[in-house]
Structures are given as structure tokens and as C-alpha cells.
Amino acid sequence: MHVSVWLHIQCILMLCLGQALQILIVKIPSLKKKARVANVHYSFQELWDEDWNLLVATCVIGASVTIGLTELAAKWPGILDLIRWLYWLLGAFGSSVVMSKWGTYEAKIMQLLDVKANIADTLTGGTKTVGETITSAKEQLNINVAPTPKNP
């Protein structure tokens, strides 16, 4: 079965759009929130410097699948009706899986949160309930700890 060059291009574009949407709507806001909790500045440049290879790798995976698109269409002709959306899903979910599994930037933020939690634990004692930890922190540091608002 013949698959047009234009369909190949559309598939790659849909993959990139799915990836971009996942990064812009899901990943970046999540990283900003984690950075805010860790009391550090979020930096897209740092994200790019740490994880550019993963973002490019997702596109390479899509290009690889595109090369085999003719074989997929020969085996399952009906796939061409949905192929653009399958590529979009591959971009969105593929990027999500790759970034969460091998992403360095988010891992560093989580390590920082862990270090800060360990420091706090040395002041407040071991694992307790949230209320007990807040009370202990108030006593140890002589400060008023207010709950974090859900949507700052």
C-alpha cells in the first residue's frame, strides 16, 4: 500500500504537536510547582540543558515509526484513518513517559526536596502526621507555619 510523503509529514507534525502540548500544558506547570515547593527558580533553559536529548529522542522515535508506516498500512489498512491521532498520542504520551522515566531536571528538583525534607526531619523528629510535624516545626523554629494554599 502506498503512503504519501504528505501523510508522513503530517504524522511527524502531529507527533511534535502532541509532544509540545504535553510539555507546555502538563510538564512545565508541574515542574514550576515543584520548583516553587523546593523554593528554587524554575528555568526552561536549565530544563532544556538537562533534558534536550529526551525531547529530541521522542521525535526520533516518531520518525522511526514513520519509516515503517507503509508496513503498518499494508498490515492494517484502516490504521490510516486514525494514524495522525495515533502519532499525536505517541508524541504526548511518549514524551510524558520518557521525561518521567529518564528526565534529569525533575529528578534534581525532587532530590532537593528530599534533602530539605531530611533537614526538616532532623529538626522535627522522624515521620509524623502532618499536624504533629507542623506543631513540632513551630516549637523548634519558633515560627508560625501556615498551610500552603492549593492555588497560589
For residue 116, tell me if it sits in a domain: no
pTM of the model: 0.76
Question: Tens digit of pLDDT for each residue in 103-127?
Answer: 999 999 999 999 988 887 787 776 6
Residues (pLDDT < 50) of the chain are: none
Alpha-helix residue ranges (DSSP H) falling in the chain: 5-21, 28-37, 44-67, 69-75, 83-102, 104-124, 130-141
**Nearest Cα residue to 20 out of 107, 101, 87, 105:** 87
Asked, for residue 15, whether it belongs to a domain, the answer is yes
Domain of 61 in residue numbering reads as 5-105
113 in a domain, yes or no? Answer: no
Report the domain count for the chain. 1
Do 51 and 105 form a contact (C-beta atoms < 8 A)? yes
Rounded to whole angstroms, the Cα distance separating 20 from 24 reads 6
pLDDT of residue 152: 55
